[in-house]
Amino acid sequence: MFCYAAAAIAAVFCIIYFFHRRLCCRYPLFTDYPIIGMLPALLCNLWRIHDFSVEVLKSHGGTGEFTGPWFTNMNYLITSDPINVHHILSKNFSNYVKGPEFREIFQAFGDGIFTADAETWKYNRDLFQSLFKNRSFEVFLEKTIRKKVQNSLLVVLDHVQQQGRVVDLQDVFNRFTFDNICSTVLGYDPNCLSLDFPEVAIEKAFNEIEESIFYRHVMPKRLWKLQRWLQIGREKTMTEACKSFDEFIHALIASKFEKLSKYNENKTGEACADLLTTVMREGKEQHDAGFLRDAVFNLFVAGRDTLTSALTWFFWLVATNPLVEAKILEEMNEKIGRNENTASILTIEEVKKLVYLHGAICETLRLFPSIPFERKQALEADVLPSGHGVNPRTMILFSLYAMGRFEEIWGEDCMELKPERWISQKGGIVYVPSYKFVAFNAGPRTCLGKELSFLQMKIVAAAILRNYHVQVVEGSVVTPNLSVVLLMKNGLKVKITKRET
């Protein structure tokens, strides 16, 4: 008798909870099944999640709700509506934060600028804004990247083309940007990009951390927390990867502390030092090893993986759109000249003249944003401009990938690579509101390194295109990887040939 009563109570409870979920989820993106929620649709399309998000959001007017299995709190409001994005990231900025759950998922980022809120975020932002806007840092950055392009990138590509072998261009950029960010942030060049393509444990650890963070978004919280406690699966991989990174960074921090304790600023003789040294000098008391570690990790993500992603997708798009490549070369010849020494690396002032190249990079970031989705949490109840209600603690995901593929935002030719859409009739760069083109975020959290990123990408792109023709290997399957950074799953296999002068 007791069993029947218990079963009846359980059935009533399930029915009540089922209707409660139906009432709470007013704009479902998929069928909401009892107990398992909308998880089946997500898991079945996980392998093509970015393109799947485009299809689903288009069929629901750009905004809808996802509910996970019961009692997992795996519920999101997902949007690609630029008016909603503008409201959340700018107009009502104070009501939408990263939040504690975000910091838990992105624990590897620590309390750095990407995960922090309130005063911690403001302090980090003010600190790095003062560093990035310093003219001496721009000079240091230009010198560092031009040296790396000249002495490593072009040397490796020249060696590859002489051998006539296939190379993974994404791997080349991974190594190049890792060396470059190490030199810029740490003042240390690990020489990952060399002729023998050495295996670099710390570079591999970075990729594993990002992939693990992505899976935390699509797995119930209790499940990945259990895996973390048991140290199995992705969570074990993430723990080991974080340990490798932390050992690498803390060793360098200790070395710099020792160096700075022996020599004061005036005795170093450096007009401009790497970012870590500069931060240590400017905050000798409040910047402990933990703060510095978190700052370094966040700078690595901002200045390494995003550039790798952008450059890889850029060269794939250019290689598969020969007319765009021809126009980039034509612009360089017209504005820079047919320098017989094409191996010379363009300066920042020279690449600023390359408007068509700028447009091609913007198109790349529109179609393949380095960070394909953004996440926020509401503090208080709100109503979005689209009419969708937001409850306190609602998790909101923006699909930046989908936004670049909406006809309502970019026109019927949105799937075309069209640098001209970024160029005015007078030949200048067209301004597009950041809430439409969210590749560098929008509102108060707009990326501080936006202009520096463009300059670095232009220097690298111009150096390669002036010297080499890049051809994608026939039969290559190009698909996005499942990670918080939009890299290619199988890399970008290409053949390099010397360009005739």
Q: Which of 40 and 193 is assigned the larger pLDDT? A: 193
pLDDT, average across residues 187-215: 84
Instruction: Please determine, for residue 200, whether its predicted confidence score (pLDDT) is greater than 60.
Output: yes
DSSP 8-state symbol, 10: H
Query: Between the ranges 84-93, 191-200, 337-346, where is the mean pLDDT highest?
Result: 84-93
Q: Is 447 annotated as a binding residue?
A: yes
User: Token match 């003789």: residue?
Assistant: 269
Q: For residue 20, what pLDDT is reported?
A: 43
Q: What is the pLDDT of residues 134-179, one digit of tens each?
A: 888 888 999 999 999 999 999 999 999 999 999 999 999 999 999 9
Q: For residue 269, what pLDDT is reported?
A: 47
Instruction: Please determine, for residue 357, whether its predicted confidence score (pLDDT) is greater than 90.
Output: yes
Instruction: Please determine, for residue 287, whether its predicted confidence score (pLDDT) is greater than 90.
Output: no
Query: pLDDT tier at 317 (50, 70, 90 boundaries)?
Result: very high
Are the C-beta atoms of residues 378 and 388 closer than 8 Å to each other?
no
Least confident segment among 5-9, 28-32, 165-169, 430-434:
5-9
Q: What is the pLDDT of residues 396-408, one digit of tens each?
A: 999 999 999 999 9
User: Token match 């009739």: residue?
Assistant: 425
The mean of the pLDDT values for the chain is 86
Give the residue extent of every domain in the chain.
Answer: 27-68+75-105+126-498
User: Token match 């399957």: residue?
Assistant: 477
Query: pLDDT tier at 66 (50, 70, 90 boundaries)?
Result: confident
Looking at the chain, the number of H-run helices and the number of E-run strands are: 22, 10
Least confident segment among 8-12, 210-214, 276-280:
8-12
Instruction: Please determine, for residue 119, whether its predicted confidence score (pLDDT) is greater than 80.
Output: yes
Q: For residue 79, what pLDDT is reported?
A: 94
Residues near 411 by beta carbon (within 8 Å), at least 6 away in sequence: 421
C-alpha to C-alpha distance for 74 and 134, rounded to whole angstroms: 43
Query: pLDDT tier at 193 (50, 70, 90 boundaries)?
Result: very high
- Other beta carbons within 10 angstroms of residue 305's beta carbon come to 24
Q: For residue 307, what pLDDT is reported?
A: 94
Judge if pTM exceeds 0.85.
yes
Query: pLDDT tier at 301 (50, 70, 90 boundaries)?
Result: confident
Long-range contacts of 214-220 (CB under 8 A, 24+ apart): 214/482, 214/483, 214/484, 215/482, 216/105, 217/105, 217/375, 218/42, 218/43, 218/46, 218/49, 220/68, 220/69, 220/72, 220/74
Whose CA is closest to 347, among 359, 334, 333, 336?
A: 336
Token output for 1: 């008798």
Q: For residue 268, what pLDDT is reported?
A: 47
Instruction: Please determine, for residue 1, whether its predicted confidence score (pLDDT) is greater than 90.
Output: no
CA count, 13 A, side-chain hemisphere, 450: 14
Q: For residue 17, what pLDDT is reported?
A: 43
Whose CA is closest to 376, among 390, 389, 365, 387?
A: 390
Q: Is the dihedral of CA 221, 44, 386, 372 positive or negative?
A: positive
Q: Give the CA radius of gyration of the chain.
A: 24
CATH placement of domain 27-68+75-105+126-498: 1.10.630.10
DSSP 14-43: HHHHHHHHHHH-SSBSS--BTTTBTHHHHH
Instruction: Please determine, for residue 24, whether its predicted confidence score (pLDDT) is greater than 80.
Output: no
Long-range contacts of 321-325 (CB under 8 A, 24+ apart): 321/417, 324/360, 324/417, 324/419, 325/465
Token output for 259: 């160096």
Phi and psi at residue 409, in whole multiples of 5°? -95, -45
Q: What percentage of the chain exceeds 90 in pLDDT?
A: 47
Q: For residue 338, what pLDDT is reported?
A: 64
Query: pLDDT tier at 25 (50, 70, 90 boundaries)?
Result: low
- Host H or E run for residue 376: strand 373-378
Q: For residue 74, what pLDDT is reported?
A: 72
Least confident segment among 112-126, 179-193, 257-271:
257-271
Query: pLDDT tier at 286 (50, 70, 90 boundaries)?
Result: low
DSSP 394-429: -EEEEEHHHHTT-HHHH-TTTTS--GGGGB-TTSSB
DSSP 8-state symbol, 153: I
If DSSP codes are grouped into helix, strand and coil, which group holds residue 496? strand
Q: For residue 386, what pLDDT is reported?
A: 93
Instruction: Please determine, for residue 32, whether its predicted confidence score (pLDDT) is greater than 50.
Output: yes
Assign 3-state DSSP to the chain and report helix, strand, coil percentages, each to 5.
60, 10, 30
DSSP 8-state symbol, 345: P
pLDDT, average across residues 240-269: 76
Instruction: Please determine, for residue 19, whether its predicted confidence score (pLDDT) is greater than 70.
Output: no
Are the C-beta atoms of residues 386 and 65 closer than 8 Å to each other?
no
